[in-house]
Amino acid sequence: MNFFSKLSLLFTDKALRNRVLFVFGALFVFRVLAAIPIPGVNAAELAVLFNNSQFFGLLNLFSGGGLSNLSIVLLGVGPYITASIIMQLLTLLVPRFKELYQEEGEAGRQRFSQYSRLLAFPIALVQGSGFLLLLQKQSIVASLTPFQFLTNLLVITAGSMLLMWIGELISEFGIGNGVSLIIFAGIVARLPQAANQALFSFDATQLPAYLAFVAAALLVVAAVVFVTEAERAVPVTYAKRVRGLKVYGGASTYLPLRLNQAGVIPIIFALSLLLLPQMLASFFAVSTTHPMLQHIAQGVLSFLQNLGFYGAAYFVLVFLFTYFYTAVTFDPNTIAENLQRNGAFIPGVRPGASTVEYLSNVITRITFVGALFLGVIAVLPIAVQGLTGIQSLTIGGTALLIVVSVVLDLAQRINAQLSIREY
């Protein structure tokens, strides 16, 4: 089936068309919610804050653009992402959670996701309180009475829970991962404004830097596509079985192991973990009167604002989270058991423990390449920023990586749906 046939099927097949329209409708609702600000916002001070703070720019990335005007969904899907990170870590510490996620099938994963959603609520309350107090101290939000503070806190917490629910609906009734698509929509919605600012602030003396960044962006897109599609094919042979007068099995196939099993998740996890100490330090730097706490908070902020230290921490976290997420989602024991149960084996490798060891070695080696790639791509814009002094490149590079990965995942899911309907 060629491209035009697939495109026509995308709009002529009723079920598939409804899924696509549902995604557009849900994202439209999200953008409407992101345009409704909470009361008492000082727009001028807010604009100054975002122009001078890389920290709030990254936070705005995870809110899907809802933080830039302090909308009722200013927390975005950040609390849910934080809850997911905590739950993923607990799979290594609590055997019951590991059983739910890896061994109890779809029902277990649904329960695991339900725990993540429940945990997101108290996290949203804590993050919302910290944001409101921080914004009050910086005169971006008018001074609130306790009742007004509680009302705003409940509104932005409910907005985050609503956004999480919209993301779950997109995953269930639409196409693609709902949370990733919400972040993607927020990034894309900012492109016209970013292009407008770039035109008005264009400096001819920085033209080589801009051209270098465009070239690097094109290389990043090509590299992300190549690595995302790259696979290590492990040959698998099915043993011959004789039943009556018929011979079954004997076929050869392969087990595809992706070079980057984790996708863009390590980037999101690493940024979430880096933002937490920045948010706490920013809060204590302006909220406390204790000189020791203020000194510690200022030291943490100075450390994280140093591009060298920040880039090194970012690289290490992305690298480690790639291994961590791959270990959580890829279980060699389960794959080895399934192969043995179906009468399949890897040529030259004995079934059972030897197969587990072989698969573990293969996934460890290819994950090293994938983790190294993600880490380099993640810190590349920071290196470019250090050389050129253009602050927006850091945020733009991270956004580019997320957008390309989400588009590739969405294209694969749409192609799978089209293939199902073709057969």
Residue count (the chain): 423
Q: What is the pLDDT of residue 104?
A: 64
Q: What is the pLDDT of residue 121?
A: 92
- 411: number of Cβ within 10 Å: 11
**Is 223 buried (19+), middle (13-18) or exposed (0-12) by CB count in 10 A?**
middle
3-state SS class at 250: coil
Q: What is the pLDDT of residue 166?
A: 92
- Measured distance CA(153)–CA(135) in Å, rounded: 13
Residue spans of beta strands (DSSP E) within 44-192? none
Nearest to 190 by CA among 68, 73, 81: 68
Q: What is the pLDDT of residue 309?
A: 80
Nearest to 383 by CA among 300, 301, 315, 303: 315
What is the enclosing helix (H) or strand (E) of 35?
Answer: none
Annotated domain spans of the chain? 17-202, 208-423
Assess contact for 328 and 316: CB atoms under 8 A: no
Q: What is the pLDDT of residue 25?
A: 92
- Measured distance CA(19)–CA(24) in Å, rounded: 9
Amino acid in position 349:
V
3-state SS class at 356: helix
Fold of 17-202: Preprotein translocase SecY subunit (1.10.3370)
Q: What is the pLDDT of residue 409?
A: 80
Assess contact for 19 and 56: CB atoms under 8 A: no
Nearest to 137 by CA among 305, 293, 289: 289
In this chain, the answer to whether the domains covering 17-202 and 208-423 adopt an identical fold is yes
Helices (H), 190-290: 191-200, 207-229, 265-287
Q: What is the pLDDT of residue 393?
A: 54
Residue with tokens 């996701």: 113
**pLDDT tens, residue by residue, 352-411:** 888 889 888 999 999 998 888 888 887 877 776 666 665 555 555 567 777 877 888 888
Class of the domain covering 208-423: mainly alpha
Assess contact for 84 and 62: CB atoms under 8 A: no
3-state SS class at 37: strand
Assess contact for 260 and 370: CB atoms under 8 A: yes
**Alpha carbon distance, N-terminus to C-terminus of the chain:** 11
Tokens in use for 85? Answer: 């990170």
Tokens in use for 308? Answer: 């060298």
**Spans in the chain with pLDDT lower than 50:** none
Assess contact for 30 and 182: CB atoms under 8 A: yes
- Measured distance CA(74)–CA(279) in Å, rounded: 14
Q: What is the pLDDT of residue 334?
A: 81
Q: What is the pLDDT of residue 162?
A: 92
